[in-house]
Amino acid sequence: MRFNVETWAPEYGAPTDGDAEETTAKVDPEVELAAAEWRSIASDADTREEIVFVDGVRRVDANLWIDQPDGMPVLGLCATYAAGVVRCNGDADTVAAVVERGLFTSAEGATDIETRHGVYRVKGTAGNTPPDLWLGIQQRMGELEGRVAAEQRERGLVIVDGPLSHHQGMPDAVGYIKTQHVHYLPPDLRTVMLGLPVGRRTPLFLVTGVRSFYSWYLRLATAPGPLGGLVRCEVAADRSITEAARIADRVTAVLPRFASHEHKDPRAPQNLYPIGGLERSLRRRLGDQQLLFRALRRSASSGRL
């Protein structure tokens, strides 16, 4: 029996979902090349340009049950989330980092929670189930990422960790997706994706549905298995195909040099070094979770909920 061992640490799942779903969006794979001409594309773009990485982290500090007039308490989550920016131009420098705390709930009459170590501002959600509340946290974190990155748009490529659906305020950004849950390409074109050499990309394809974007796959580095080192990138479709291809070439040229190695990152090579470093820096800024949990319990016992 022949097999490959995925380089990602098992506790992080896998970079590609074995049960990945076929997309329900409309995909046009012929915006850059006709399907019969699909092949891997190399880039001769300048690899020395400045590049900006944007990412965020989030953590639930406590689950709350908020009393309601009808006697049925409603779930809420107290969460801390942060967003930051790393600029790479020879050296890597963190140029922005912001931390916020929120009470995510749909409970009637919810108010801010003041503790000795921070204030949890009410962040309304559309529902009160755990997925509703987690979506609220994700959306607010994406908004925060957009705000902290807004001042970096003139500095070169802006790479955000995750799909652009989480970063509506960043139309010029490039979405960087390191975990693949959806099949966008028809089976006859996946062979080009699977056969990508390191440092090459697929032709662009246009995805239209709830949102529209140009996308491509890129092989960052050598890794076990046909999907090892494979990532997907995307840009908003509010630009010409020529401009989208120019951005794809720039990304293809510069990103492989930031690919991580297994002995330094458990999600190598897809978790880029600047993003991994930024995540660690932001998590340290979230504060001590147990300290915040105790502060919330004291606030609850004093009746400030």
d(CA 196, CA 220): 10
Give per-residue pLDDT as tens, 256-278.
Answer: 999 898 878 888 899 999 999 99
% of the chain exceeding 90 in pLDDT: 66
pLDDT value for 188 = 94
The burial class, CB within 10 Å (0-12 / 13-18 / 19+), for 223 is: buried
- Mean per-residue pLDDT over the chain, rounded: 89
Confidence of residue 14 (pLDDT cuts 50, 70, 90): low
pLDDT value for 232 = 97
Give per-residue pLDDT as tens, 123-170.
Answer: 999 999 999 999 999 999 989 998 888 777 666 789 999 888 766 666
d(CA 35, CA 23): 18
Give per-residue pLDDT as tens, 175-190.
Answer: 999 988 888 999 999 9
d(CA 174, CA 256): 15
Neighbouring CB atoms inside 10 A of 208's CB total 12
Q: Which helix (H) or strand (E) holds 162?
A: none
Cβ atoms of residues 38 and 203 within 8 Å = yes
pLDDT value for 153 = 67
What is the DSSP code (8-state) at residue 224?
Answer: S
Bridge partners, residue 104, by sequence = 77, 123
Give me the mean pLDDT over the 238-244 stretch.
Answer: 95
Cβ atoms of residues 40 and 193 within 8 Å = no
pLDDT value for 215 = 98
Q: Which amino acid is at 242?
A: T
How distant is the alpha carbon of residue 45 from its chain centre? Answer: 25
pLDDT value for 13 = 61
d(CA 15, CA 93): 27
Give me the mean pLDDT over the 90-99 stretch.
Answer: 89
d(CA 160, CA 147): 12
d(CA 105, CA 130): 10
191: CB partners within 8 A, 6+ apart: none
Residue 64's nearest CA partner among 274, 300, 246, 234 is 300
Neighbouring CB atoms inside 10 A of 160's CB total 25
The burial class, CB within 10 Å (0-12 / 13-18 / 19+), for 261 is: exposed
Torsions phi, psi of 24, nearest 5? -95, -5
